[in-house]
Amino acid sequence: MVFVEILKSILFGIIEGITEWLPISSTGHLILLNDFVSLKCSDEFLEMFNVVIQLGAIMAVVLMFWKKLWPFTSKEEGYYKRTTVVMWMKIIVACIPTVIIGLPLDNFSQKYFYNGLSVAIMLILFGVAFIYVENRNKNAVPKIKSINQISFLDALIIGCFQLIAAIFPGTSRSGATIIGSLALGISRPVAAQFTFFLAVPAMAGASLIKIIKFAASGTPVTGTEIAVLFFGCIVSFIVSVVAIKFLLKYIRRHDFKAFGYYRIILGAIVFLYFIVKLISTGSIH
């Protein structure tokens, strides 16, 4: 049984690593995956696992972009890199909406929106948004071609898009922030990189909160659950490295519309699946 659960956690890690960085909703995919490949864990652990598995994905970003993320230098170089410090200040500003509004609504979101129907709706809505924004920007020249050019107001607006993703699963944190960035005239590569960097404090904070909540609940942890979390994070890290490299290479020559079409098709399938499920269980007559 332990081996089977580890195999399941590896599958969850693969899905997390791919969907966390491609703008197609990691939380939405994990909720759907659990409906087909259910982990034999407590509900409290599963709620925590779906968020904390993102730590592996975070470490992929930290490893790949360490030189751009680490703000400190030697004494000879002035102790710190000013542009990197300013970038982190913008990232903090972008996190403010989620901290002030998203965190207090976490339990409400878990209760009312963490279901297949909500996921399907948000997959479709933001799929349409991707296609609309890309069509609107088709012949436009990006106004912002480096992270240094992103203003604090731009960062705050991007943070508001991230807030939507924090409340509604199926939105995709990366998808929402990329759409917000594109709408502001930010180039695709810069939009993707800022999204990656913004994920570090956002996802680390969300993981820490879930761990604290889980610990406070007093729910006992089994050896199997520890193994599930460990392997899920490791696989998520490895797959994230591949997914990030793929996305950065892909957007050099393509736009994000393909992800929009994928979201719409998947959202329609998910919607039909859960309607059939509700009918079969007698929830809809």
Q: Is 276 exposed, middle or buried (0-12, 13-18, 19+ CB in 10 A)?
A: exposed
pLDDT of residue 115: 85
Tokens linked to 69: 């993320």
What's the confidence (pLDDT) of residue 284?
62
User: Tell me, what's the pLDDT at 93?
Assistant: 98
Counting runs of H as helices and runs of E as strands, what totals does the chain give? Answer: 13, 0
Q: CB burial class (10 A; 0-12, 13-18, 19+) of residue 71?
A: middle
3-state secondary structure of 218: coil
Both tokens of residue 142? 């990006």
Say if CB 151 and CB 139 are below 8 A apart: no
Is there a contact between 100 and 284 (Cβ–Cβ < 8 Å)? no
- Residue 198: closest CA among 258, 158, 240: 158
Write down the pLDDT at residue 285.
55
Establish how many alpha carbons lie within 13 A of residue 51's alpha carbon, considering only the half-sphere containing its beta carbon. 22
How many Å apart are CA 115 and CA 12, to the nearest integer?
A: 17
Q: Which residue type does 49 have?
A: F
Ordered by start, the domain boundaries in the chain are 2-280
Buried b (16+ CB within 10 A) or exposed e, 230-242: ebbbebbbebbbe
Q: 10-residue block means of pLDDT along the chain (285 residues)?
A: 91 94 88 84 87 91 95 79 95 96 92 89 97 94 96 98 94 95 97 96 89 89 92 96 96 95 94 87 67
Yes or no: say if 54 and 203 are a contact pair by the CB < 8 Å rule: yes
Give dist(CA 11, CA 15) in Å, integer.
6
Q: Does residue 170 come out as left (phi exceeding 0), alpha (psi in the -120 to 50 range) or beta?
A: left
Q: How far apart are CA 232 and CA 16, in angstroms?
A: 9
